[in-house]
Amino acid sequence: MRFQTICNGIVLTGLLLLAGCGDEQTAKTSLFEHDHEVAEHWPDDFADAAVKLRQRLDASADETADAKQAEAEIADIVSWVPEIAADTDLPEKDWIPLDNAAESLMANLRSSGNELTDANRKQTVAFCELIEEAIAKLPAPIPSPQGASL
């Protein structure tokens, strides 16, 4: 009798897990949606990371609250670049220098409280150039044959 009660409990728990709980109307598109929201300044793609960094470099030139926001966003974007690059077809031998450059720049930004000192600004510009060089090394997408039948 005790064995049957345990089995019934396990089956019931399994069914509840399969059925789910809550009032969700739509299926989740990501397993991590509940963990975080995507930041507004998250780059659209690898190339956009360099564009966004350069935009924020320009915005940080003024001594305003917007400049401080731009500096904080630069630190965010730099920290995201290795992950974004890893999602491309960039060969590992070209990804590693990018990752190392991001780590170095992040360490310098952290030590200055994300302030864009002249050295940090130059390093960020060099980082943008490294991103652009890496983009040029990406393999071209294979074109799909037009009108091919399967």
Position 95 in a domain: yes
Position 111 in a domain: yes
Greatest pairwise CA separation for the chain in angstroms? 76
Position 101 in a domain: yes
So what's the pLDDT on residue 114? 93
Position 126 in a domain: yes
109 exposure class (CB count in 10 Å sphere: 0-12, 13-18, 19+): buried
Position 148 in a domain: no
What Å distances lie between residue 8 and 15, 18, 21, 86, CA to CA?
11, 15, 19, 46
What is the block-wise mean pLDDT of the chain (150 residues), using blocks of 10 residues?
Answer: 54 50 45 67 94 95 87 97 94 95 98 95 98 91 58
Position 90 in a domain: yes
The first and second tokens of residue 26, run together, are 């739509």
* 3-state class percentages of the chain: helix first, strand second, coil last, to nearest 5: 60, 0, 40
116 exposure class (CB count in 10 Å sphere: 0-12, 13-18, 19+): buried
Among 148, 147, 98, which Cα is nearest to 127's?
Answer: 98
Position 78 in a domain: yes
So what's the pLDDT on residue 140? 76
Whether the Cβ atoms of residue 114 and residue 72 lie closer than 8 Å to each other: yes
So what's the pLDDT on residue 103? 98
Position 25 in a domain: no
So what's the pLDDT on residue 93? 94
pTM above 0.75, yes or no: no
Q: How many domains does the chain have?
A: 1
Q: Name the residue range of residue 111's domain.
A: 46-136
The first and second tokens of residue 106, run together, are 């992040």
